[in-house]
Amino acid sequence: MLVQLKVNGELRSADVPAETTLLKLLREHLGLTGAKLGCDVGDCGTCTVIVDGESVNSCLMLAARAAGHDITTIEGLANANQLHPIQHAFEELGALQCGFCGPGMIMSAKHLLDKNTEPTVAEIRDALAGNLCRCTGYTKIIEAVVVAGRAMSSTDARP
């Protein structure tokens, strides 16, 4: 079936079987391999993308359902000159080790910080509960989200 959707601001389409997940569409048909295939059952969060402003597990969503919707993936965050403040904070604070959870962590952080740039640590932990990291122990990830939130609020305040 033909699926047309907006990905990172660009209109894209692909002809895929109905049983194709959004994750598979992104990775194998649109060449966007930032979102990762981890557990494939909605537990690990490394496939997290944002659909119409809400974060979802793209391994649990059919591509057909995403038709006509607005998808943001990790590839949509940085531009040619500049990392997104969350990516910058993750890099500066060494919040990633192997990096496999990174795209999902950063998209979940974006979902949180787009609504609230000054979350409490409890709110950050809640927001990242669906993203598993097997390397860092989360401490630096949480610190990076705090720092990114500050950077985003000062960016917002800029005239």
Partner 1 sequence: MHPFEYIVPSSAPEAVALLAEHGESACPLAGGTDLIVDLKHGPGNINLLVDVSALPEFRGIDETPDGLRIGSMVTFGEIMASPVCRKMTPEIVAAAHTVGAVQTRNLGTVGGNLVTCVPSADIAPSLMVLDARVTVIGSDGSREMPIEEFFVAPRKTSLQPHELLESILIPKNALGKPSKFLKFGLRNGQALALVNAAGSLWLDKDGKTLVEPRLALGAVAPTPLRATKTEAFLTGKPATDKVLAEAAEIAVSEAKPIDDFRASANYRRQIIRTFTLRVLKRSIEIAREV
State phi, psi for 72 to the nearest 5 degrees: -115, 130
How many residues of this chain interact with partner 1, rule: CB under 8 A?
A: 31
Among positions 13-42, residues that touch partner 1 (CB under 8 A) are 17-19, 21, 40-42
Residue 1 found at the interface with partner 1 (CB under 8 A): yes
Residue 48 found at the interface with partner 1 (CB under 8 A): yes
| Shortest Å distance, C-beta 102 to partner 1 | 16
Q: Of 59 and 95, which CB lies nearer to partner 1 in the complex structure?
A: 59
Residue 148 neighbours by CB distance under 10 Å = 26
Quick check: 49 and 107 in contact, CB under 8 A?
yes
CA–CA gap between residue 1 and residue 14 (Å, rounded): 8
Q: Of 37 and 83, which CB lies nearer to partner 1 in the complex structure?
A: 37
Quick check: 73 and 7 in contact, CB under 8 A?
yes
Residue 60 found at the interface with partner 1 (CB under 8 A): yes
| Shortest Å distance, C-beta 130 to partner 1 | 3
Judged on CB neighbours under 10 Å (0-12, 13-18, 19+), 137 is exposed
Quick check: 125 and 105 in contact, CB under 8 A?
no
Judged on CB neighbours under 10 Å (0-12, 13-18, 19+), 53 is exposed
Q: Of 67 and 135, which CB lies nearer to partner 1 in the complex structure?
A: 67
Token representation of residue 48:
């997290």
Residue 83 found at the interface with partner 1 (CB under 8 A): no
Residue 127 found at the interface with partner 1 (CB under 8 A): yes
| Shortest Å distance, C-beta 157 to partner 1 | 25
Give the interface with partner 1 as residue ranges (CB under 8 A): 1, 17-19, 21, 40-43, 45, 48, 51, 54-57, 59-62, 64-65, 108, 111-112, 125-127, 129-131
